[in-house]
Amino acid sequence: MKCCGLITTQKEPVPLKSIEVELEVKDHVATVVSTLNYQNQEDKPLEAVFVFPLPGDAAVCHFSAKIGQTQIVAEVKEKQQAREDYDDALSSGQQAFLLEESEQSPDIFTLSVGSLPPGESASIRLEYITELAVQADDGLRFSLPAVLNPRYKPQGSGGTEAATVQVTSVPASQIPYSLSFSARVSSPRPVSKVESNCSLDPLQYLNKEQTQATVKLAGGHKFDRDVELLIYYKDAHQPTAVVEAGQASAKPGSLMGDPVVMLSLYPEFPESAMSSLSSCGEFVFLMDRSGSMGCSTSHSKPEETRIGSARDTLLLLLKSLPMGCYFNVYSFGSSYQHIFPKSVEYSDQTLEEAVKKVEEMTADLGGTEILQPLKHIYNQPCIPKQPRQLFVFTDGEVSNTKEVINLVKKNSGSHRCFSFGIGEGASSALINGLAKKGRGHAQFITGADRMQTKVMQSLRFALQPAVVDISIKWDLPKQVSATVLSPPITTLFQGQRSLVYAQLTGKSSEGAQGSVTVNYKLAGQPSKTQLHFSLKPAEDTGLTVHRLGARVLIRSLEMEEREDRGEKGEAVKEKVVELSVKSGVSSSFTAFIAVNKSDGKPIEGPLIHRNVPTPIMRCDMFANCASNSATKSLAKIKKKGRFVPLCGSIQPMSFSACLIPPMSFSACSFSSDSLDMTLDQPTLLKKSSNFERFEANEHKLPRRDPFLQLVSLQKASGCWLLDPALAAALGKTSEELDQSKPASVKEEVWATILALIWLHASKTDSKGEWELLSLKAVSWLRTQNAPCVECVDAANTLLGCKVQRDVLGL
């Protein structure tokens, strides 16, 4: 067959031609409308299958297809029934469209476009709504997932539909369809700015108050990253309440028939309570060392790998821990390792041993088996009076997402979980799920983000006094009652939003008011956050709040069903299906199905099956992974067979994407037990310029960043030693440090003052990264009764700085 138009790497035509995305943000809620345009340029009818990512907490609420002038709106049905309807339609020569959520991970969807006749075009409209997460700098984060990396399926896990979905993947730069993206932002407060990891056209304000604005993605966007927007409002942290009227056609007393309220709460804690950081706790760090962690963290810094950035971040974390705590470090891939058999007390000796092991960590452990190390951690007995805090670093490429999250939820009473998604394509369902069910906080590190800044914010959360005994009290008119749809609030953090959805049953009078009070204890003291709101429904909200509330309730019920697979679980499943159908919101037990039942001529002839390629991150090991372990891994590659275009699928693999030579992108045979990659000519690797560059640079590692060099020298107590390593980090000689030291001052005091002066003078823009270890150093200095005025003056003179003593906290 002669191919024309867009083609895959297998020289097959691609039926998907373009994707158009329109984003509407109202305050902190986003509505996303995606239009996928298909065209069959072949001479036979075809079925196109597209597996793609969506945000894990999205509520898919509309799916329709337009063929010519015919518009077909899909309906939600029980998943097996929807599949049967789809198959029946195709066998009858009818056009059909099926959209279904993965049963294993709610951030993966499969769209099947069936019986598209030769020369015919079809436009698929997909709509979903989602809440925007608050970032460390008060921005609201929207992410349009563009990258779907192959998900690792652990050995021995059950064979479900999600595990067998075939994901046709190609390097992002080779995606043969286009993307256009535009956004409209509105809020009661002015929009101060909109930033992105992609090139944007200038922000256009629509009114003089600057409460409405539009922005577009600049032309020429490549599918090499998720499209991320950061939206900033003035006075962002204001509690709000939105009451939405029920659907007129729905039955009063039902979720869709009654009004629903969405409360956004921003608790403000007393400064006195927040300034006292905990000096106890068991800190467990779980580091992903799968092969994909060897990929670059961003396009602007191709030399910086995910594992390298994670190593540097872990160094900062270890140095920032308080004396008196306990800690341990785990790493995982196809297997898992730990530095200590069990958590140990924080001391100079244990810290030095841990730092040495961390600095040796590379992305050399194969696949992404996160479940087993989590089970091992949870099986370790908790240490009395040392609350457990778990920090998970991963690029999130697993297929058993729901199983992992369920395990964290089961153990949520004994710990808090802070999760970090690293790089493009990290599963939002996994990262957000770990934090929500583990009563912690989630962060995503993409593009040029500095991992250290976000992770240190989470450590601050972990060190702050825990908020306990959280309860909600409603004060409503007598004839109105509230049924809370959200799970109970288990975590409150300073400056972070808590969302509550509730169904309001009963009639209220004109101008009626309600209030909600969140009661809790902080540092042993009772406290509360209160919000008053009008019961009058807001205008022009459609059913957005109802669908978000339905989505929250559906996710809770799905979790409940997984915990009980018996009769009770079956009853819960039926409840999910009923709620999904009535609300029009997708679930793991339902699917959207649309069948063209017009009286047109049946489509005849066998269907050609076409997989629409999905972008994956190109991981150039030879340019990025300069490590002996990578060389050893290469030695395991079986040099046989031939290169074929990359076609990843969700299946067992202990092999790293980092091991794919950039000139080949081959189809690989993955095994959970061994690395098995088929190569063509043994001479290919030696002739590759990339490999020669890797070989040449293997022993020429870049000089360590002075900041990290200085941090690595700090002792567990918080002090620094006066030695040549410190002098080198400060850009001085040992003689200069010795000669400038005041005579009556101890060497450790002098060294610590020098380090603090350098940090305050040279790294003010990244203070959040070193503030905790600085506080520890200042606490140590206070125990020494040193002549600080003399030391600070001498240190400023030596380093050429002008840092004031009060700035240091002395």
* Per-residue pLDDT tens over the stretch 509-534: 888 999 999 898 887 788 888 899 99
**What does the block give as tokens for 728?**
């080198």
State residue 588's pLDDT score.
Answer: 92
State residue 70's pLDDT score.
Answer: 86
Question: What percent of the chain lies above the pLDDT cut of 70?
Answer: 79
pLDDT over 90 at 737, yes or no: yes
Question: Which range among 218-227, 525-534, 793-802 has the greatest average pLDDT?
Answer: 793-802
Contact predicate 111/124, CB 8 Å: yes
What's the Cα-to-Cα distance from 24 to each of 213, 520, 547, rounded to whole Å? 10, 35, 16
pLDDT over 60 at 626, yes or no: no
What's the Cα-to-Cα distance from 701 to each of 108, 289, 304, 661, rounded to whole Å? 39, 20, 12, 21
State residue 675's pLDDT score.
Answer: 32
Task: Give the SS3 label for residue 357.
Answer: helix
**What does the block give as tokens for 401?**
């997402």
Contact predicate 107/130, CB 8 Å: no
Q: How far apart are the first and last CA of the chain?
A: 78
At 636, the pLDDT band (50, 70, 90 cuts) reads very low
Q: What is the DSSP string of 492-511?
A: --TT--EEEEEEEES---TT
Q: DSSP secondary-structure letter at 152?
A: B
Q: Which segment of 20-29, 444-453, 580-589 scores lowest on mean pLDDT?
A: 444-453
At 720, the pLDDT band (50, 70, 90 cuts) reads very high
Query: What is the arithmetic mean of pLDDT over 656-677?
Result: 30
Contact predicate 665/645, CB 8 Å: yes
State residue 269's pLDDT score.
Answer: 77
Alpha-helix runs per DSSP H in 321-370: 348-359
Query: What is the arithmetic mean of pLDDT over 150-179?
Result: 53
Does the pTM of the predicted model rise above 0.85?
no
Amino acid at 477: P
Q: How many helices (H) and strands (E) does the chain have?
A: 22, 34
At 642, the pLDDT band (50, 70, 90 cuts) reads very low
- CA 630 to chain centroid: 27
State residue 448's pLDDT score.
Answer: 65
At 641, the pLDDT band (50, 70, 90 cuts) reads very low
Query: What is the arithmetic mean of pLDDT over 243-247?
Result: 93
What count of Cα atoms within 13 Å lies in the side-chain half-sphere of residue 27? 17
Query: What is the arithmetic mean of pLDDT over 160-166?
Result: 42
Looking up tokens 């990262």 gives 431
366 Rama sector, left if φ>0, alpha if ψ -120 to 50, beta otherwise: left
Element (H, E) at 759: helix 747-762
Q: How many C-beta neighbours within 10 Å does residue 667 have?
A: 17
What's the Cα-to-Cα distance from 549 to each of 181, 243, 263, 482, 485, rounded to whole Å? 27, 12, 11, 13, 6
Element (H, E) at 388: strand 388-394
Query: What is the arithmetic mean of pLDDT over 699-726?
Result: 83
* Per-residue pLDDT tens over the stretch 301-343: 677 889 998 999 999 999 999 998 999 999 999 999 999 999 9
pLDDT over 70 at 149, yes or no: no
Query: What is the arithmetic mean of pLDDT over 81-86?
Result: 95
Using CA atoms, how far apart are residues 419 and 390, in angstroms rounded to an integer?
A: 8
Alpha-helix runs per DSSP H in 46-186: 79-91, 161-164
Using CA atoms, how far apart are residues 296 and 275, in angstroms rounded to an integer?
A: 37
Question: Which range among 71-80, 435-444, 638-647, 664-673 has the greatest average pLDDT?
Answer: 71-80
Q: DSSP secondary-structure letter at 445?
A: E
294-332 as b/e, with b when 16 or more CB fall inside 10 Å? bbbbbeeeeebbbbbbbbbbbbbbbbbbbeebbbbbbbb
Element (H, E) at 459: helix 451-463
State residue 638's pLDDT score.
Answer: 28
What's the Cα-to-Cα distance from 228 to each of 14, 140, 172, 341, 742, rounded to whole Å? 26, 10, 16, 40, 52
In this structure, which long-range contacts are made by residues 100-103, counting pairs with CB atoms below 8 Å and at least 24 apart in sequence? 100/591, 100/592, 101/60, 101/586, 101/587, 101/588, 101/591, 102/161, 102/162, 102/165, 102/588, 103/160, 103/161, 103/162, 103/402, 103/588
Q: How many C-beta neighbours within 10 Å does residue 107 have?
A: 26
State residue 718's pLDDT score.
Answer: 94
Q: Which segment of 96-105, 397-406, 497-506, 755-764 scores lowest on mean pLDDT?
A: 397-406
State residue 480's pLDDT score.
Answer: 95
pLDDT: is 613 or 680 the higher one?
A: 613
**What does the block give as tokens for 295?**
């990929």
Q: DSSP secondary-structure letter at 774?
A: H
DSSP β-ladder status, 178-186 and 212-216: antiparallel
Residue 721: closest CA among 759, 757, 761, 753: 753
Query: What is the arithmetic mean of pLDDT over 80-104?
Result: 91
Contact predicate 78/577, CB 8 Å: yes
Task: Give the SS3 label for residue 276.
Answer: coil
State residue 268's pLDDT score.
Answer: 75
DSSP β-ladder status, 467-475 and 75-78: unpaired
At 654, the pLDDT band (50, 70, 90 cuts) reads very low
pLDDT over 80 at 688, yes or no: no
**Three-state secondary structure of 692-741:** HHHHHHCCCCCCCCHHHHHHHCCCCCCCCCCCHHHHHHHCCCHHHHHHHC
pLDDT: is 107 or 566 the higher one?
A: 107
Using CA atoms, how far apart are residues 313 and 455, in angstroms rounded to an integer?
A: 7
At 692, the pLDDT band (50, 70, 90 cuts) reads very low
pLDDT over 50 at 593, yes or no: yes
Using CA atoms, how far apart are residues 598 and 168, in angstroms rounded to an integer?
A: 32
State residue 224's pLDDT score.
Answer: 66
Using CA atoms, how far apart are residues 749 and 730, in angstroms rounded to an integer?
A: 16
State residue 171's pLDDT score.
Answer: 58
Positive or negative CA dihedral for 501, 503, 509, 514? negative
